[in-house]
Chains A and B, each alone.
Chain A
């Protein structure tokens, strides 16, 4: 049986405190998982933002799927989360997303997932 590609991983690299990741183009995917590696000695906090504007337009960024409380990854931890965070069901990603890292440096990856290749 041919296997269609349903998963793609993008390395966002090391993001400094107070900085944003590059924009993630998830327009051909349905869902996403965020990987956070915190090798610093401090707890890392981050939020996810989504932009409803067409790709290539500036648009405005909106906090995505949280109650306003940044998600925390403790010092030395490696955690993976379905996007958006703090959702109770029906996980789904936005087509344009970015991650803001607060308080300390963290290294990020995003895995994008689609139902049909």
Chain B
């Protein structure tokens, strides 16, 4: 039997992630690629992957969180009542960086930057790694 290369979290949005809120941080330290599975409700949502260089002894609330990635003001917009699977890092600027094949950080979370009504009511983070 081949060894496990993929892992997925449970639903990180059991309590919907409202505009201006974030998910909990996820430990991806044994993984190298990640994808967020997102379902929106109540309106479109502006999503942004965030990464932290702090180790896991630092609580989520105290850790420094960085928008991952691109020097752009654009978050990744998902229409209302949509389901999308988004490779990390989410958010992109078509004039600069494509959002394919970049590594995940060891500690990541998803932020809902919407200023209106869109919430995330399902969020799974799936990650993978290569094994020799």
A35 touches B66 (CB 8 A): yes
> In the complex, are the beta carbons of B55 and A79 less than 8 A apart?
no
Indicate if the CB atoms of B66 and A71 lie closer than 8 Å: no
Q: Do A33 and B103 touch across chains, with their CB atoms under 8 A apart? A: yes
Q: Are the C-beta atoms of B4 and A111 separated by less than 8 Å?
A: no
Query: How many residues in B have their beta carbons less than 8 Å from beta carbons of A?
Result: 33
What B residues does A3 contact at CB under 8 A? 29-30
Least CB separation from A8: chain B residue: B106
Measured in the bound complex, the distance between the Cα atoms of B68 and A62 in whole Å is 25
Min C-beta distance of A32 to chain B, whole Å: 8
Q: Is the C-beta of A1 less than 8 angstroms from some C-beta in chain B?
A: yes
**Which of B29, B30, B53 gathers the greatest number of chain A CB atoms within 10 Å?**
B53
Q: Which of A20-28, A51-59, A84-92, A96-104 contacts B (4 or more CB under 8 A)?
A: A84-92
Q: How far is the CA of A73 from the CA of B132 in the complex (A)?
A: 37
B65 in contact (CB, < 8 A): yes
Q: When the two chains form their complex, are residues A72 and B100 in contact, meaning their CB atoms are under 8 A apart?
A: no
B70 at the interface (CB under 8 A from A): yes
Contacts of B89 in A (CB 8 A): 80, 82
CB distance from A107 to the nearest CB of B (A): 9
From A11, A73, A74, A111, name the one whose CB has the most chain B CB atoms within 10 angstroms. A111
User: Which 7 pairs between the two chains have the least Cβ-Cβ distance?
Assistant: A7-B106, A80-B66, A82-B102, A109-B53, A3-B30, A80-B68, A78-B66
Write 24 A-B pairs (CB below 8 A) sorted by A numbering. Answer: A1-B3, A3-B29, A4-B30, A5-B29, A6-B32, A6-B129, A7-B105, A9-B55, A9-B106, A33-B51, A35-B64, A73-B71, A78-B65, A79-B68, A80-B51, A80-B66, A80-B67, A80-B68, A82-B69, A86-B97, A88-B97, A88-B98, A116-B130, A116-B132
